[in-house]
Structure 1
Amino acid sequence: MHVVNRVLATLLALALFLGGLLAIVEIILAALDRPAWLVPHEQWSSWAAGQTFTDGIIRAILIGLAILGLVLLTIALRRGKPGSLRLPARAEGVRVSASRRGIERSVATAARRTDGVRSVSAKAGRRAVRVTASTALRSTGDLREPVTAAVTERLEQLGLTGVLRPKVSVSRKGS
């Protein structure tokens, strides 16, 4: 979700920046008694002066802006994937954490050691770790349980069994 937030923030910042530049140009042109460049502000001003809050178009615009603001606020406040996960400490007063990518590599390595697995990818989220294993074997059903057991064992070694659930899928890749 971090990528979506960054893209939206960048696009919104760019739109505000360009709008500000356009406003500056229009203000300078109006101060010099020149005609408007892109925004016909005299026409817009006279139209807006004739409107009230009871008009349908004004209400629709205000409701649309409120909904857009709520959507942007919801997206901004939504929590993304954690950068690191807290591990159980062996001694009191010690805080131990592991990076999400480190956990992904560790789980993928454990799954890769299972017989019949050709390649593995792992993605750790807030509540689950998704492991996708590929094999050259004809039957993928027999491989899911050993991979799940290897991933669960590794999560137990890290002390993350109550934090992350393993979700394992196995696919067949041609040789």
Structure 2
Amino acid sequence: MHVLNRVLATLLALGLFLGGLLAVVEIVLAVLDRPSWLIPHQQWAQSLTGESFGGGVVRAVLIGLVVLGLLLLLVGLGRGKPGSIPLPARTDGVQVTASRRGLERSLVTSARRADGVRSARAKVGRRKVTVKASTAVRSGDLQQPVTAAVTERLAELSLTGVLRPRVTVSQEKSR
């Protein structure tokens, strides 16, 4: 979600910057009594003078802007993946966290220790851990050991009640 927010914010900032720059150029051209560059402001001013807030076009534009603003607000307020996962304190007064990426690497290492696993990937969310492992043997044979390895690693970190593991094992296609 953070990537989507950054892309939307960048595009919105770029659009506002270019729109502001265009407005400055058009205002300077109008003050100097030069012809407009992109926006025919004389025609727009005449057509907008006859419009009221009750007009259909004005209402449609305003409703569209409100909907767009609400959509951007919802995307901005959406919770993304946590940067760090709080670990249960073993002593009072101590707060320990693990980085999400560090936890993902740890779970990948645990999954790869199972015999027959060639590669593994892990994604840690707020409540769920997704581990995908691939193997050269039949995938049904390794589902249990990989799940046990991931669950054991979560138990070592005291995260079994916090994060639910979801493990999938697939067979690599021979080349």
Task: With the length of structure 2 as denominator, give the TM-score of the two structures.
Answer: 0.96
Q: What displacement does 1:53 show?
A: 2.2
Aligned 1:148-159 pairs, distance under 5 A: 148-159=147-158
Q: For residues 41 and 163 of structure 1, what CA distance do their matches in structure 2 show?
A: 60
Q: Which moved more, 1:63-72 or 1:142-151?
A: 142-151
Distance 2:110 2:88 in 1: 20
Q: Distance in 2 between matches of 1:3 and 1:58?
A: 34
Listed one character per residue, the Cα deviations across residues 125-174 of structure 1 (whole Å, up to 9, x for unaligned) are 1111110000000x211211211111111001111111111111111113
1:25-174 residue pairs with structure 2 within 5 A? 25-137=25-137, 139-174=138-173
Q: Separation in 2 of the partners of 1:169 and 1:145?
A: 10
Spell out, residue by residue over 1:68-117, the C-alpha distance to the aligned partner (whole angstroms, 9 max, x if none): 00000000011110000000111110010000011001111111111111
**1:54 Cα offset (Å):** 2.2
Query: Aligned-pair RMSD on alpha carbons?
Result: 1.0
Q: Whole-Å Cα distance in 1 between the matches of residues 100 and 115 of structure 2?
A: 26
Superposition TM-score, scaled by structure 1 size = 0.96
Unaligned runs of 5+ in 2: none
CA distance in 2, matches of 1:15, 1:169: 43
Q: Secondary structure at the match of 1:43?
A: helix
Of residues 107-116 and 47-56 in structure 1, the stretch that sits farther from structure 2 once superposed is: 47-56
**What's the offset of the Cα at 1:45?**
1.2
